């Protein structure tokens, strides 16, 4: 008989959340864990240089945002001159502030917009993008208030004039950050990351994540790259993404259904498209090419190509081994 399946473990998550939070609180009281702010920021110096180090380092902003040809360019707007409105963010923030002022009926400054963009990104989502930016105060990013200020100064410098005095952070930000860290969820079974790595890349095994996901130079490119996933997403989000992959589908990885004129159904993620054909990657990582002239109907789907039955096919031990490996990808 196989061991208890993941479905049993899922029922106990609510019980262990309090235990996990208590463990995190004890860790914080003992002075262990977490990252220290950049030295320049600790000294109270909110410079563009300090903010640039945070943007490309601890803040993990470049995972989703590019500046020119450097950084991510799918999930978030380019913060350089090739971004929305054809303006770098330091200049673009002024136009966005005018939009926010019209929408809210109260005065907004460019600095106000940048503060909101970092601390409440869902309040205003740029057209064409999703509300999927993580809260930088929460684990695993854990920016301190001075680090947030420095990151904003760096954004101001991209096409604009750095003005630390204009940045008004909400009161009690440090306390919010501490409370968020105390609520961090941790797995209640200590998985084996080495075993998890083998399961992850075993193409014929029960997990086989590497068929579609890449870590470094290994794996496929059907799903999102996971090389640094644990540096931007916490354990709770990662667990949910494995068990309920259709709940949040990352930008650029939406599923489409193509029905051909001969009634063939092709479901997957569009990888390449031209006037002649569309290439779709299916749930097994295979590329299927459909000639444009053969397409009868094409429709977006709300279901991820990632299988949603890992709670049935993985044991508790296997799941936590895979989770331990993924959580090590920082």
pLDDT digits (tens, 9 = 90+) for 123-136: 999 998 889 898 89
CB 315, CB 270: distance < 8 Å = no
| Separation CA 67–CA 273 (nearest Å) | 26
Q: Residue 12 above 50 pLDDT?
A: no
Q: Give the whole-number percent of the chain exceeding pLDDT 70.
A: 85
Nearest Cα to Cα of residue 189 among 51, 320, 323: 320
Q: What mean pLDDT is predicted for residues 61-83? A: 90
Q: Residue 175's pLDDT is what?
A: 82
Nearest Cα to Cα of residue 89 among 67, 108, 59: 67
Exposed, middle or buried, 219 (CB in 10 Å: 0-12/13-18/19+)? buried
CA atoms within a 13 Å half-sphere pointing along the CA-CB vector of 312: 4
Higher-confidence residue: 203 or 45? 203
Q: Give the whole-number percent of the chain exceeding pLDDT 90.
A: 52
Q: Residue 30's pLDDT is what?
A: 29
Tokens (6 digits) for 326: 């993924």
Non-local CB neighbours of 149 within 8 Å, separated by 6+ positions: 41, 46, 164, 167, 169
CA atoms within a 13 Å half-sphere pointing along the CA-CB vector of 66: 14
Higher-confidence residue: 288 or 115? 115
Nearest Cα to Cα of residue 55 among 79, 81, 87, 34: 79
Measured over the CA atoms of residue 21, residue 25, residue 31 and residue 37, the dihedral's sign is positive
Q: Residue 181 above 60 pLDDT?
A: yes
pLDDT digits (tens, 9 = 90+) for 184-240: 777 777 899 999 999 999 888 788 899 889 999 999 888 888 999 988 888 888 999
Nearest Cα to Cα of residue 133 among 41, 65, 47: 65
CB atoms within 10 A of CB 14: 8
Tokens (6 digits) for 308: 């949603």
Strand partners, 272: 279
Q: Residue 44's pLDDT is what?
A: 60
| Mean pLDDT value across the chain | 83
Q: Residue 139's pLDDT is what?
A: 87
Q: Residue 125's pLDDT is what?
A: 93
Cα–Cα distances (Å) from 243 to 7, 76, 214, 248, 252, in that order, read 10, 25, 19, 11, 20
In this prediction the pTM is 0.71
Cα–Cα distances (Å) from 315 to 48, 197, 286, 312, 328, in that order, read 48, 15, 27, 8, 20
């Amino acid at each position: 008989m196989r061991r208890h399946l993941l479905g049993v473990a899922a029922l106990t998550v609510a019980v262990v959340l309090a235990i996990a939070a208590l463990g995190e609180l004890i860790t914080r009281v003992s002075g262990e864990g977490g990252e220290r702010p950049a030295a320049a920021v600790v000294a109270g110096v909110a410079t563009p240089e300090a903010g640039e180090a945070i943007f490309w380092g601890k803040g993990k902003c470049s995972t989703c945002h590019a500046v020119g040809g450097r950084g991510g360019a799918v999930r978030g707007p380019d913060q350089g001159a090739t971004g929305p409105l054809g303006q770098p963010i330091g200049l673009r923030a002024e136009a966005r502030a005018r939009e926010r002022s019209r929408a809210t009926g109260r005065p907004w400054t460019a600095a106000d917009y940048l503060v909101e963009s970092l601390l409440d990104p869902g309040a205003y989502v740029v057209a064409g993008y999703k509300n999927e930016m993580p809260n930088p105060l929460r684990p695993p990013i854990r920016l301190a208030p001075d680090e947030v200020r420095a990151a904003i100064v760096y954004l101001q410098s991209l096409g604009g004039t750095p003005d630390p005095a204009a940045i008004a952070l909400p009161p009690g930000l440090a306390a919010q950050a501490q409370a968020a860290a105390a609520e961090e969820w941790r797995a209640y079974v200590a998985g084996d990351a080495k075993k998890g790595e083998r399961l992850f890349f075993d193409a014929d095994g029960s997990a086989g994540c590497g068929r579609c996901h890449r870590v470094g130079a290994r794996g496929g490119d059907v799903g999102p790259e996971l090389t640094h996933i644990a540096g931007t997403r916490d354990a709770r989000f990662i667990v949910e993404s494995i068990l309920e992959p259709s709940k949040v589908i990352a930008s650029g990885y939406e599923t489409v259904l193509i029905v051909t004129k001969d009634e063939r159904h092709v479901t997957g993620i569009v990888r390449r498209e031209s006037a002649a054909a569309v290439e779709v990657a299916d749930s097994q990582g295979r590329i299927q090419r459909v000639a444009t002239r053969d397409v009868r109907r094409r429709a977006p789907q709300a279901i991820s190509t990632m299988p949603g039955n890992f709670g049935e096919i993985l044991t508790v031990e296997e799941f936590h081994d895979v989770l331990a490996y993924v959580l090590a990808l920082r």
